[in-house]
A and B are shown apart, each in its own frame.
Chain A
Amino acid sequence: MEKRQIYLDNNATTPLHPEVKKEMIEKIDVFGNPSSMHSYGRNARENIETARNTIASFIGAAQGEIIFVGSGSEANNSVLSLLTCQLKKCNVRGFAKPRIVTTSIEHPCILETCECLSASAVDAEYLQTDEFGKINISELEEKLADKPLLVSIMMANNEIGTIQDIKKFAEITHENGAFFHTDAVQAVGKIPVDVNELGVDFLTLSAHKMYGPKGIGALYVKTGIPFCPLIRGGHQERGRRAGTENTLGIVGFGKAVEMRKIEMEEEAERLLKLKKTLKEGIETNIPDIKFIGHPTESIPGTLNVSFKGVEGEAIMLHLDLAGIAVSTGSACSSGSLGASHVILATGISEEFANGSIRISMGRETTPEDIEYTIDSFTRIIPKLRKISSRY
C-alpha cells in the first residue's frame, strides 16, 4: 500500500485555510498600532473591527460583545478571574463566598485554574458525566442550590466530541441567579452556535480550531454582564484586555470565520458520512473495541475509539509511521501519568482506558483517507495485540 500523509488531529489544531493564508500574507505589512489616530493606526483599527464584526455576526453577538484575547485558554482564565474580583468597578457584588460549578471533563485551563482558585477563597464543584460524556441537568440543579456565582460547562468536548445541552443549562443557571460561561472552542465553526439562542453570558472561541492562525482567541461577554480583566493596564478592547492587538492574527481569525460561514454546513454533512464509514469500518474489521462519546450528540468530525488490550501511544506511533496523525488519551501520552481525565470520566474500564485514540477529521479529509485509516487500524491492532500480555 502506498504511504500517505493524513492529518486526523484537527481538534488539536487545524491547518490554515488557503484563503486565510492569502489574506494574512496580503495584510502582513499592516503594522500600525490600532490605538494610534494617524492613518497607519486607523488602517489597523479598520481591519480589526471588520474581523470583529464578522466574528460577532457569526455567533449572533453585537460587535462590542467580542473581546480579542491571546487564546481560548486566556479567554477561559479571564472568565474565571471574575470569581476573586473584589473591585467595585468590575461590578461583582453580593456573594458571600465565590463559588463555581463546572464539570470533570473541562479543558485543563478551566480545571487547573479552578484548582488554583480553590486554594484561596473559591469553592469549586464538579459535575460528573454519564457514560456518553453527558452532564445531567438534575445534578446541576442540585449544585445550583448552593448559589454559585458562575457555572462553566464546555459546549463540545475536545476528546470525545460530546455536545452538551447548553441552552437548558444556561436557562436553569439564570433562574438561580448565576452567570453562565461555555467553552465553545470545539463547537464554533463545527456546529451552529448562536449566543442569543443559547442564552449564555460568556462564550469562548479560538481561531486555530477553525483553520485560522494560532495565538488568537475571542471571548463573548454579554452586554451588562460583570467582567474582570485578566490582563490589566491598557485601554485596548475597551479596557477589558490590555496589550496591543494582534492585528494579523485577528485578520486571519476574521477570514477563517468568513470561510466557516460558507463551508461549515456542507462540511459537517460530509464529515458525518465519513465518520459513519470510519466507525463501521473499524467495527467490522476489529473485535473488542469501544467507541467513547455520544453516538449522535457529537461534533461531526470527531470519533474516539478504544481498543482492548493495546496501549494508545503504541497505536498512535504505529499510525504515525503509516503517515496518519491522531492523538491518544493514554497514560503514556504527553507526559501525563494516568489515562485522560475525560476518558476516565465516562467510567470506562481500565482495560479500555489506556487504549483510546481520537480521530478528528477536518475540511481536508477525504474518503480515501478514511479507507487508508481503516486499513491501517486493521493491520496495526492485531500486530500489537499479538505481543500484548493483556489480550
Chain B
Amino acid sequence: MEDLNWIYTENVKDHFINPRNVLDDLDSYDHDGYGKTGNVKCGDEMLFVIKVDSEKQIITDCKWKTYGCASAIATTSKLSELAIGMSLEKAYKISPKEIVKELGGLPENKIHCSVMGDKALKAAIEDYYRRNKMEDKIKKEETRIICECMNVSEHEIEDAVLEGARNYIRVQEMTKAGTVCGECKDEVIKVMNKYLRLHF
C-alpha cells in the first residue's frame, strides 16, 4: 500500500506533517493584526496573526492556527511562509490560486472549501489597517464573503451571473454558495438579483 501515490502532492504532505509558523499561544504573541475566518459546521476555520514593520509596511512575522482537513492545514502553512517578508499591499492580494500553485496543486473539490488562509490573512491585514487608521486601504467589495461555509465572495456570485446563472440553484451549482448550512441563502439571492439588475 505504501508505494501508492498519496492523495495530495509531496509538498502538501510535507506542510501537513510539519506545519510551519504555528501559533503557540495567542496571548503571548504580540501581534499587530488578527484575522479569523471559516465555520466549524463546514469543518474549516483559520486564524492568522501578523507582525508589521510600520515603516516599511512589511509583514515581518506571522503565525496561524487551523481547524480543518489536510489541505486546509497545508495551504495555511504554505501561506505563512509566503507572507513573511512580503509587503502588506502584496500580501493583501494573495489569491487561493497562488497558494495552490506554490504547493503543486490540490484536488479540485478541495480548492474551494479548504483554501481559506488568504481570507484569514486579509482579515488580519485589515485589522492592522483599522488599528492604524488606514481604513482607506481596505477594499470592501473584493473581500466581502457571502457564503462563509464555502468561502464564496460577492465577486464570484457576480461572475456566475455573468456566466449565465439566472436563479439560486444555478448560482449554487456554479459557486457552491449556500450548499452547506444554507444560512446565506437570502443574501446570495439578494446579491444575485443585484447583479441581474445591474448587468441585464
Q: Are chains A and B native binding partners rather than an unrelated pairing?
A: yes
Q: Using CB atoms and an 8 Å cutoff, list the residues of chain A in contact with chain B.
A: 5, 309-314, 317-318, 321, 323, 325, 330-332, 335, 337-339, 350-351, 353-354, 386-391
| B38: nearest chain-A partner, CB-CB | A389
* B67-75, B83-91, B94-102, B186-194 - interface stretch: B67-75
Q: A332-B43, A337-B179 are in contact. Are A387 and B16 (CB under 8 A)?
A: no
Q: Tell me if B73 and A314 are in contact (CB < 8 A).
A: yes
10 contacts between A and B (CB under 8 A): A311-B68, A317-B70, A332-B43, A332-B44, A332-B72, A337-B150, A338-B42, A354-B40, A390-B40, A390-B45
Could you tell me the distance in whole angstroms from the C-beta of A369 to the nearest C-beta in chain B?
A: 15
Q: A309-B67, A387-B22, A391-B67 are in contact. Are A317 and B7 (CB under 8 A)?
A: yes
B70: chain A residues at CB < 8 Å are 313-314, 317
Q: Tell me if B44 and A311 are in contact (CB < 8 A).
A: yes
Main secondary structure of the interface of B (DSSP, over half): mixed
A351 to B22, CA, bound (A): 21
| A354: nearest chain-B partner, CB-CB | B43
User: Of A309, A318, A338, A389, which contacts B46 at CB under 8 A?
Assistant: A389
Answer yes or no: B109 CB below 8 A from chain A CBs.
yes
Q: Tell me if A351 and B17 are in contact (CB < 8 A).
A: no
Q: A317-B7, A337-B179, A388-B65 are in contact. Are A331 and B45 (CB under 8 A)?
A: no
A313 to B45, CA, bound (A): 14
Q: Tell me if A332 and B69 are in contact (CB < 8 A).
A: yes
| Proximity string of chain B (44-71) to chain A, C-beta cutoff 8 Å, 1 when within and 0 when not | 1111000000000000000001111110
Answer yes or no: B36 CB below 8 A from chain A CBs.
yes
| B7: nearest chain-A partner, CB-CB | A317
A338 to B179, CA, bound (A): 9
B149: chain A residues at CB < 8 Å are 337
Main secondary structure of the interface of A (DSSP, over half): loop
Q: Tell me if B16 and A350 are in contact (CB < 8 A).
A: no
User: Of A311, A387, A389, which contacts B36 at CB under 8 A?
Assistant: A389
Name 12 extra pairs, CB < 8 A, besides A332-B44, A338-B42.
A309-B67, A311-B69, A312-B43, A323-B2, A325-B1, A331-B42, A338-B41, A338-B180, A387-B22, A387-B66, A388-B65, A388-B66
Q: Tell me if A332 and B113 are in contact (CB < 8 A).
A: yes
Q: Tell me if B40 and A351 are in contact (CB < 8 A).
A: yes
B47: chain A residues at CB < 8 Å are 389
- A325, A332, A388, A391: residue with the most chain B Cβ atoms closer than 10 Å: A332
A311: chain B residues at CB < 8 Å are 43-44, 67-69, 72
Q: Using CB atoms and an 8 Å cutoff, list the residues of chain B in contact with chain A.
A: 1-2, 7, 16-17, 19, 22, 36, 38, 40-47, 65-70, 72-73, 109-110, 113-114, 149-150, 176, 179-181
Q: A337-B180, A386-B22 are in contact. Are A331 and B65 (CB under 8 A)?
A: no
| B65: nearest chain-A partner, CB-CB | A389
Could you tell me the distance in whole angstroms from the C-beta of B195 to the nearest C-beta in chain A?
A: 24
User: Of A318, A335, A389, which contacts B66 at CB under 8 A?
Assistant: A389
Q: Tell me if B40 and A314 are in contact (CB < 8 A).
A: no
A389: chain B residues at CB < 8 Å are 36, 38, 45-47, 65-67
Q: A314-B73, A338-B42, A351-B40 are in contact. Are A332 and B68 (CB under 8 A)?
A: yes
Could you tell me the distance in whole angstroms from the C-beta of A284 to the nearest C-beta in chain B?
A: 25
A38 to B2, CA, bound (A): 48
A332 to B16, CA, bound (A): 15
Could you tell me the distance in whole angstroms from the C-beta of B144 to the nearest C-beta in chain A?
A: 22
A311 to B17, CA, bound (A): 15
Q: A314-B68, A321-B17 are in contact. Are A387 and B73 (CB under 8 A)?
A: yes
B110: chain A residues at CB < 8 Å are 332
Q: Tell me if B17 and A331 are in contact (CB < 8 A).
A: no
A391 to B46, CA, bound (A): 12
Q: Tell me if B19 and A330 are in contact (CB < 8 A).
A: no
Q: Tell me if B67 and A390 are in contact (CB < 8 A).
A: yes
A311 to B19, CA, bound (A): 16
Q: Tell me if B114 and A332 are in contact (CB < 8 A).
A: yes
A317 to B68, CA, bound (A): 12
| B181: nearest chain-A partner, CB-CB | A338
